[in-house]
Amino acid sequence: MQLKDYVLANQNVRQMVKDRIPGDTQLDMYYGTLDYATARFDTILLKLSQDRLLEQKHRFELHECYEAIQSFHRNVVRYKLWPKLFRYIVAIVLHGIGTRRIPKIKRLLKTLDN
Query: pLDDT (tens digit, 9 = 90+) per residue, 16-47?
Result: 888 888 888 889 999 999 999 999 999 999 99
Give me the torsion for CA of 48, 52, 58, 64, rounded to 10°: 60
In angstroms, the Cα distances linking 29 to 50, 96, 106 are 32, 15, 17
User: Which pLDDT value is given to residue 20?
Assistant: 84
User: Which pLDDT value is given to residue 2?
Assistant: 86
Residue 3: is its pLDDT beyond 90?
Answer: no
For 50-78, the pLDDT digits (tens) are: 989 999 999 999 999 999 999 999 999 99
Parent domain of 90 = 3-113
- In angstroms, the CA 17 to CA 53 distance is 32
What is the domain count for the chain? 1
Predicted structure pTM score: 0.91
